[in-house]
Structure 1
């Protein structure tokens, strides 16, 4: 299937499933509305789409991987809500819309994030898979989202503001803050498909390269992107005095690095029949403008 056709099909499947999960949440005050506001606000859905694609690659069924994909997206959304808070990045817009705390207030935004985080693991627990695979999926997501992954990366990111960081330090931050969740997306798909250890390792290697390329492209878009397409103000990294790959290496070098990482990611999957979609997805993300 052609790349964009498959991606749109995956996005449609994910959007419907997320809306179905959200419909089951209780309406305590503004909680359900606040959780749904951010979860159902659109976005590329690249992480959950990656979970579905890896599952298909290794012979699994989409319906088996879908709860894993949706739970992952709930965790990702919680992290965006909390990242936007005044005590963190203090952002007013996300995906072209006011951020959660601007609409529902800071307390409700914190609780909406908390709600999504915990709902995510309940979602994984209900996957139509053997208990052993469900446990592996939950452990994989918890490892990626917690102090060994995304949360740890966010702490280092905050500590790095106003500092001149080395390439190694920036890479560590981005590997934890962004890369771990993208790798988890691939691993979850492999787990859902009951893939071999070698298959899961190849998918994880692909995702690590993809995740670094994705973050470098984000850094580039914060410098040379269009605010209308990017969905948030351009230049926010510079305003917060953050060390980024673009600050360290410059625009042209970073563009070349994205292309190199993309080809390295693709090479990880070339031995597997049916990897064309994931290879095409890597190239698509390398050229994204939002």
Structure 2
């Protein structure tokens, strides 16, 4: 349903400018987990077991994070950024098309994300304003853009807290947007939103540690993207011993579970999805430490 909704939201590839729209389709519709939309859907569905209907406002809002995530990946892969060649088991967008087309496709995806929020049916104006303001913060210098700047500068970081903040900007903040948007669609209050915000920071830390492990050469065949992109960069993986890594995983997962419980998601489908992800992360950690 997420993929169907994304296709509905994207301009048709045969619509001029066709090259731009084809690049957008190539980047967005490539194989992916759709984890961020799932987080929104499950955070929004906590009070009911009824399925989300195709084309619903919840699905449209859930797709916003995927549009933004894809836009960030396009930019992250550019030669002036990480200079990557492979993304999701395929040539990066700038290689398949061109650097200029990739940049414009990314810009248009970000523009489209705000348009989806503004035009989403059956969502009140105050919720749209809150979601838009949150997204602006997540994308900006305190979020994805700031994280990318810090990553490119690669200045030495002595404190683990500094690296954890970088991880939140690179990864956790968009998880935060995803779950908080789901909560807002359900009309949840400040206490639930605060708990989900804390959950996202912990979940993002575990996720980014996992991503650091995927950058390790032993995972080269299963990443679907370039590896050893973090060579020479200070990461938590480079600072942790295997025992410390397992401890960090355990602590962050415990915090994430506790915050889900506080948000009313102790035995929800959202919690089940998170546990599924944790099982994958822990398996990779064990392999790296063996």
State the TM-score, normalizing by the size of structure 2: 0.88
Q: Per the alignment, in what secondary structure is the counterpart of residue 287 of structure 1?
A: helix
Structure 2 unaligned runs (5+)? 285-290
- Classify 1:228/1:252 alpha carbon distance in 2 versus 1 (closer, same or farther; 3 Å): same
Alignment match, 1:44: 33
Aligned equivalent of 1:21, options 3, 6, 9: 9
2:82–2:229 Cα contact (<8 Å) kept: no
Matching of residue 76 in structure 1 with residue 69 in structure 2: yes
In 2, the alpha carbon distance for the partners of 1:193 and 1:225 equals: 42
Q: Report Cα offsets for 1:248-277 as digits up to 9, x if no partner.
A: 113442233123211211111225266432
Alignment match, 1:206: 199
Alignment match, 2:145: 151
| 1:65-144 equivalences in 2 (<5 Å) | 65-128=58-121, 129-144=123-138
Matching of residue 227 in structure 1 with residue 220 in structure 2: yes
Please say which of residues 228-237 and 126-135 is displaced more in the overlay: 228-237
Aligned equivalent of 2:257, options 261, 266, 275: 266
The alpha carbon displacement at 1:226 in A equals 2.5
Alignment match, 1:3: none
1:55–1:61 Cα contact (<8 Å) kept: no
Alignment match, 1:181: 174
2:265–2:271 Cα contact (<8 Å) kept: no
In 2, the alpha carbon distance for the partners of 1:276 and 1:90 equals: 40
Structure 1 unaligned runs (5+)? 1-12
In 1, the alpha carbon distance for the partners of 2:12 and 2:47 equals: 31
In 1, the alpha carbon distance for the partners of 2:195 and 2:72 equals: 27
Alignment match, 1:171: 164
Aligned equivalent of 2:233, options 233, 239, 242: 242
- Classify 1:237/1:229 alpha carbon distance in 2 versus 1 (closer, same or farther; 3 Å): same
Alignment match, 1:287: 279
2:213–2:219 Cα contact (<8 Å) kept: no
What is the Cα-based RMSD across aligned positions, in Å? 2.1
Q: How many residues align?
A: 275
In 1, the alpha carbon distance for the partners of 2:103 and 2:227 equals: 25
- Classify 1:253/1:224 alpha carbon distance in 2 versus 1 (closer, same or farther; 3 Å): farther
In 2, the alpha carbon distance for the partners of 1:151 and 1:61 equals: 35
Please say which of residues 94-103 and 58-67 is displaced more in the overlay: 58-67
Alignment match, 2:42: 53
In 2, the alpha carbon distance for the partners of 1:124 and 1:42 equals: 24
1:219–1:244 Cα contact (<8 Å) kept: yes
